[in-house]
Amino acid sequence: MTPTSIHPGLVEDAVQGTLKAWLPSGLERVARENDMPPGSLPAPRSWPVASEFDLRPEEQLPAVFIVSTGASAGRREPTGWRATWGCEVAVVVSARDERSARRLAGLYLAAIRAALLWHDGLGGIADDIRWGAENLAVGNVGRSARAVFGVAFEIDIPDSVAARPLEEPGSPPTDPVVPPPALSQVEEIDLNLNAQEPT
């Protein structure tokens, strides 16, 4: 069923679906371009959707966090309301030292950028993605260095709220659990055309 109103979870799922599909080959491309052996940049092992980049013990690195920051700049169009959605994506990696962790996180982020910008439809809900600000944080966890490298994207979604469907009633229903009745479909009609000379 096509959604009549987009919500943050749907945006996060669409971004995650696109990255899960395209990131593995993107990571291999980045590895080749940087003279690294195949498999040097393994696919993420965790895909938490959270507003804080704090991993639970069961989540493993590399991890990719995805969080939608909501919509802004909505405007009406013939088919509904277009809005720009914010979404932040961050990769968390671990390495032996800070320099290695920074470099590794940067390689993953390069593949994430390309995957989303090259496949900006997000499975059909969006029609454009713009690349925004990036942030890097590095710290030590035990004997290894951990880097979190994040990037913000602006996503244009044309029908963030669809135009009111024809079957939507004009007044609130008595029982909101019961869906509105489907419109009857016209399967066949008879047409008689009579030609007349223009006057």
Q: What pLDDT, in 10s, does the model give residues 136-185?
A: 888 777 777 888 889 999 999 998 988 887 777 777 877 888 887 776 66
What are the residue ranges spanned by the domains of the chain? 8-162
What architecture (CATH level 2) is domain 8-162? 2-Layer Sandwich (3.30)
Q: Could you tell me which residues come within 8 angstroms of residue 73 by beta carbon, excluding any fewer than 6 positions away?
A: 83, 84
Predicted confidence at residue 109, as pLDDT, reads 95
**What's this model's pTM, rounded to 2 decimal places?**
0.81
Which portions of the chain are predicted below pLDDT 70? 1-2, 50-59, 183-187
Predicted confidence at residue 22, as pLDDT, reads 96
Predicted confidence at residue 58, as pLDDT, reads 47
Instruction: Give me 144's structure tokens.
Output: 């290894």
Predicted confidence at residue 184, as pLDDT, reads 65
Q: Is 130 left (phi over 0), alpha (psi -120 to 50) or beta?
A: beta
